[in-house]
A and B are shown apart, each in its own frame.
Chain A
Amino acid sequence: MPAAIHTAGLTRTFRAQNRTVEAVRGIDLTVEQGEILGFLGPNGAGKTTTLRMLTTLLAPTSGTATVAGHDLIADPRGVRKRIGYVAQTGGVDPAVSVREELTTQARLYRLTKAQAARRTEELAHDLDLAGLLERPCRALSGGQRRRLDIAMALTHEPSVLFLDEPTTGLDPGSRADLWQLVRRLREQRGMTVFLTTHYLDEADALADRLVVVDEGRVAAQGTSAQLKKEYGGSVRASLQDAFIALTGREARRETERAPVAV
């Protein structure tokens, strides 16, 4: 079975005011099909830039990648047909109704009008949005909004789902619901999930495997237990201990945050 995501030497530099910022200096990673991968790293480590490259939003400066069976550089359209992406900000217009967003999204994936209407009902049912279809998106709660964002990304039944900090700002109950949803997507549809998070308990509880990036490179990867043992000193160490041992200097990070979230 080919990997869901495979990258080799992926880099991205930005030019800003006569200087070059190397946001991503070389990412090599492999994500197996059906895996839930936690992508961790301090602010400015290159997480979002990597995610934006893997989802075709940003062209890599160098390197190669295959995502969902398609070459990222040669065939971005092929990639787009097979992936779903939920950005940190979501991606719905607050003034537009939930039904309008879901139906138009389905049309953008080239479903016919009838198919799009049917798909909207299915998704609303699956993600517990059925009673909310006529409401404007701004009227949804944080948890409902997140479910809608994910429903939008599931329109075309992608094989790889990218989630950028999906539970930031959610209350504990909504977070637990979202974890359940991610596990269900993997179990029922064999979906590969690539998620970034700042919550180490989330990474610990949800991800099969973790990739830690720092300064634009992969600093470590493995299961949560492996990272705790290798970098935290023992399997009983917290993931936070391992994380700080790996990336260190959290105080410095805050003052030296690179301007990479372009």
Chain B
Amino acid sequence: MSHLLADTGIIAGRYVRQTLASRLGVLFGLLQPLLFLVFFGPLLRDIDLGGAGDSWQTLVPGLLVQLGLFSSAFAGFTLLIEKQHGVVERMRVTPVSRLALLLGRLVRDVLQLFAQSLLLVLVGVAFGLRTPVAGVAVGFVLVGVLAASLASLSYALAMRVGSPQEFAPVINSLNLPAVLLSGILLPMALAPDWLDTVSHFVPFRYVVDAVRGAFMGHYGDGTLALGALVALALAAFSLGLGTRVFKKAGA
């Protein structure tokens, strides 16, 4: 325990330096949401999206969640590659805190996501997004918690499976339905009743709604509180599972 913070810092440092050395990778992850913003966003401008706020306040929060979902769901890939090079085992033979091996990676992932999110929001502002700075900050925190949870699950899965061939299908088959059912591109307010009902079983939906609320400056109507609660519950579950997998030897 006494070493957990220091070890997390060391591990985070290693991966932050790696990420900074390959800035292209950071931009690459941003490509898809940026394309949606630039080529899809303008189509929504004059359409009634069924909620408060304008189309940019609806789309940009969705794209932020999408960015968090995709980048963190595939985070485990980097761990798989490191496993194949023996890096993970080599580190596990040192006295380093097992939990720090997970937390250090999550710190890098969240920092990278914040940098990408900031770029995305700035491009959004250039296109016409107007939103309170406090709302953006609250939105970033929500997306950060969500991404850390998912990355934690992704690392736990990568720790357990042997190859990318086992890993990718699981992620792909979960990710796309999650994106569609959480109202990321268009709000679920447009959905027929059955689809709206189904989407209430997808936890990301509440986070999307909460980030949209924050971007409109609505902090007190319960949407934000519910989204934050869901994000925290997801984080507690995912980090708990990730911790168990990382602490267990032989993974």
How long is the Cα–Cα vector from A6 to B249 in the complex, in angstroms? 21
Residues on A with C-beta less than 8 A from B18 are 93, 95-96
State whether the Cβ of A50 lies closer than 8 Å to any Cβ in chain B.
Answer: no
B95: contacting residue among A57, A80, A91, CB under 8 A: A80
B85 and A89 contact, CB distance less than 8 A: yes
How long is the Cα–Cα vector from A55 to B96 in the complex, in angstroms? 14
State whether the Cβ of B17 lies closer than 8 Å to any Cβ in chain A.
Answer: yes
The chain B residue with its CB closest to the CB of A152 is B90
A87: contacting residue among B3, B22, B86, B96, CB under 8 A: B86
Q: Per-residue CB proximity of A115-127 to B under 8 Å, as 1/0?
A: 0000000000000
Interface of B is mostly: helix
Interface of A is mostly: loop
The smallest beta-carbon distance between A130 and chain B, in angstroms, is 22
Residue from A76, A90, A104, A262 whose CB has the most chain B CB atoms within 10 Å: A104
A90 and B85 contact, CB distance less than 8 A: yes
State whether the Cβ of A83 lies closer than 8 Å to any Cβ in chain B.
Answer: yes
A92 and B10 contact, CB distance less than 8 A: no
The smallest beta-carbon distance between B69 and chain A, in angstroms, is 26
The smallest beta-carbon distance between B3 and chain A, in angstroms, is 7
Q: Given A93-B85, A93-B87, A100-B14, are A59 and B93 also a contact pair (CB < 8 Å)?
A: no
B85 and A108 contact, CB distance less than 8 A: no
Residue from A77, A84, A89, A108 whose CB has the most chain B CB atoms within 10 Å: A108
Residue from B86, B91, B96 whose CB has the most chain A CB atoms within 10 Å: B86
B95 and A108 contact, CB distance less than 8 A: yes
A56: contacting residue among B7, B17, B21, B249, CB under 8 A: B249
State whether the Cβ of B250 lies closer than 8 Å to any Cβ in chain A.
Answer: yes
A80 and B87 contact, CB distance less than 8 A: no
How long is the Cα–Cα vector from A204 to B22 in the complex, in angstroms? 46
B91: contacting residue among A76, A108, A262, CB under 8 A: A108
State whether the Cβ of B82 lies closer than 8 Å to any Cβ in chain A.
Answer: yes
The smallest beta-carbon distance between A222 and chain B, in angstroms, is 29
A58 and B95 contact, CB distance less than 8 A: no
Interface residues on A, range: 20 to 34
B7: contacting residue among A58, A92, A108, CB under 8 A: A108
State whether the Cβ of A199 lies closer than 8 Å to any Cβ in chain B.
Answer: no
How long is the Cα–Cα vector from A3 to B89 in the complex, in angstroms? 26
Residue from A87, A93, A94 whose CB has the most chain B CB atoms within 10 Å: A93
A109 and B85 contact, CB distance less than 8 A: no
The smallest beta-carbon distance between A14 and chain B, in angstroms, is 9
Q: Per-residue CB proximity of B3-22 to A under 8 Å, as 1/0?
A: 10011001001100110011
How long is the Cα–Cα vector from A200 to B249 in the complex, in angstroms? 32
Q: Given A56-B93, A100-B14, are A90 and B250 also a contact pair (CB < 8 Å)?
A: no
B7 and A57 contact, CB distance less than 8 A: no
State whether the Cβ of A189 lies closer than 8 Å to any Cβ in chain B.
Answer: no
Q: Given A58-B250, A59-B249, A100-B17, are A87 and B89 also a contact pair (CB < 8 Å)?
A: yes
How long is the Cα–Cα vector from A104 to B92 in the complex, in angstroms? 13
The smallest beta-carbon distance between B30 and chain A, in angstroms, is 21
State whether the Cβ of B94 lies closer than 8 Å to any Cβ in chain A.
Answer: yes
Residues on B with C-beta less than 8 A from A58 are 249-250
The smallest beta-carbon distance between A262 and chain B, in angstroms, is 8
The smallest beta-carbon distance between A16 and chain B, in angstroms, is 12
In the complex, besides A92-B90, A95-B18, 8 extra interface pairs with C-beta distance below 8 angstroms are A57-B250, A59-B250, A83-B93, A90-B85, A91-B87, A91-B91, A92-B87, A104-B13
Closest 7 CB pairs of A and B: A91-B90, A89-B86, A91-B86, A108-B94, A58-B250, A108-B96, A85-B93
